[in-house]
Amino acid sequence: MPGRSERHGNHELQRRQEDGILQRPRDYNAHQKLRGFIDIGSGTCGDSAISTEVSLEKVVIIDTEAPSTRRASACAVYEVIKNDEGAVVGQRIGDGVSVQGISSVGLCVNPNVGASQRCSAYTVYDFVTVSSTGVYSSPLGKTVTTNAQGQLCFSGAASNKNYVPVLVAKNWASMTPAATPAPTPAPTPSTGGLSPTPTPTPTPKVEAPKEGEASVEVPEGNSEVSVGTKTVKLEAGAGVKLGIAKDESGVSQVQLSLAGGSKVSIPESLMDANQEVKVESKSAAAVTAASAPPAGTTSASDGISISLKPAIEVKLAFKVASMISSRRQSMIYHTFWLDKISNVWKPMCTEHKKDAAAQSVTAPVSKDVQGQAGFNPTAGCNAAVACDGKGGTIMVFALSSEPDCGGQGLSGGAIAGIVIGVLAFCGSVAGAVFFVTRRNDGCKAPQQRETRAPSNSSVISSEVVFSNMPEKRTSFQKEKAADGPRAPSEDTYLGVGQSGAAVATAAPSITTI
């Protein structure tokens, strides 16, 4: 209605309707037609004022806060009202209205948010104030009435405050904030169905100690060991120590001491520039549970699993604690390797060194043994045996009698050498007999005698002696007749393994008298 003035006490009050003016252009940026009125009633003016101009200004609110929920409803954009706990408890349903120049008046405001944009959870009318920066207060708890024009009214409006009509929940004062959902992790980039490539772990590097220095423990698993100018790619079990020492022949050896006291000696000069070695101690109980020991076995040492690429002959020294028992001094201690394809133990027919004081049995492992199909296969193993290619298994068994090598441990070249040596020897003997008999028709037939090495040796020496012959030397003589027959020696007897099978050859001495 048009503006008009009234006398109210000592103050001239003017009630009028006019265009609302935005109070702070930087926050509010539109002019709107005023909607609402002031009920002066018992309103009070400033004490020093003789006359006061009363104005009603509309504050258009531009919400900068994102909706509090993720609901795709029309009311969500207006859900900006929170209580003192920070919980969202209502929505605004109109713009703000500010009273200037008078306090403690009744204020009525037209809501401009339609029913379709109101949340059904909020059913109680109330008012809040909004700051010049757009921050809402919590609900004021006003008693709100609706007049005949559909305006929302309350009493006690103060000057210079911006009032906004709202709808809130019945229990708005006691509501608490909803739990913040855990953030959704970013999706893992697709690898096309393939597992992501793991970051490789650097291989530990170990410097071998110098000869005479204390052994060093190597990491379990893979490591690279520097030995002079060579690199050993070592895969070791737990508790393996590395040292450098010379053997009884003065040859420098890379020694790997295993848990339990067994040792592996690798000639340093025979190693490849990038030698691969896999070595691990194996429990006797675990091994023999899967692979039955040879017949006549009374006890066994822990086993050694070993693989060398390229293959080179090495020596294994086994700790045999049972050797301390006097009852077992007569036992035969022999090394066997496990044929993983047949799951059968096979004797190693090589020279063995038994040291009762040190409780050890030492034996070499030849390249021929390492090259056997069943020594360290990666496929075709017996079901009871691991076929992982990590090494062949070797153990010492205490036996009541010598094992039967049956020619095992001999290469084709060694066997051929034996055959050729025997044939040459027989031919030499036959020629000598023929020559002597032709020149000595009245002599007695030659006599042949065989002598054996001492009973504690595993060697045989053959010697042929011709008697009652003239004192004339032949091309076969090497000593005077007066010297008599030559005694057997390491150079003249046929080397055999502990079972009696031949493993080396040498032509015997022949003396003609």
> Do 306 and 380 reside in the same domain of the chain?
yes
At residue 179, the pLDDT reads 77
What residues make up the domain containing 443?
Answer: 412-512
pLDDT at res. 119: 92
**Within this chain, do residues 430 and 392 fall inside the same structural domain, yes or no?**
no
248 and 140 within one domain: no
Measured CA to CA, the distance from residue 492 to residue 507 in angstroms comes to 6
Q: Which of 157, 174, 191 delimits the end of a domain?
A: 174
Residues of the chain with pLDDT under 50: 1-34, 47-51, 69-70, 326, 328, 409-414, 442-513
How many other CB atoms are found less than 10 A from the CB of residue 508? 20
Same domain, residue pair 46 and 149: yes
**345 with 258, same domain?**
yes
- Last-in-domain residue among 350, 377, 399: 399
475 part of a folded domain: yes
Contact 246, 211 (CB under 8 A): yes
Cα–Cα distance measured from residue 132 to residue 106, given in angstroms and rounded to the nearest whole number: 22
Separation CA 227–CA 205 (nearest Å): 11
**Within this chain, do residues 8 and 74 fall inside the same structural domain, yes or no?**
yes
Structure confidence at residue 400 (pLDDT): 85
Sign of the CA dihedral with 287 first, then 348, 352, and 247 last: negative
Structural domain total, the chain: 3
Same-domain pairing of 393 and 427: no
Q: Return the CATH number at 353.
A: 2.60.220
* Single-letter amino acid code for the residue at 295: A
- Domain co-membership, 13 together with 161: yes
Upper half-sphere CA count for residue 213 (Cβ side, 13 Å): 12
Instruction: Return the pLDDT at 497.
Output: 36
Whether residues 369 and 223 fall in one domain: yes
pLDDT digits (tens, 9 = 90+) for 175-203: 998 877 777 777 766 666 666 677 788 99
DSSP string, 23-78: S-TTT--------EEEE-TT-B--TT-SS---EEEEE-----SPPSS---STTGGG
- Distance CA(399)–CA(333), nearest Å, equals 6
φ, ψ for residue 77, nearest 5 deg: -65, -20
Residues 465 and 390 in one domain: no
Q: Check whether residue 112 and residue 164 sit in a common domain.
A: yes
Residue 183 in domain? no
Q: Does residue 192 sit within a domain?
A: no
DSSP per position, 165-176 = EEEE-TTGGG--
Tell me, yes or no, whether 243 and 312 share the same domain.
yes
Q: How far apart are CA 409 and CA 268, in angstroms?
A: 24
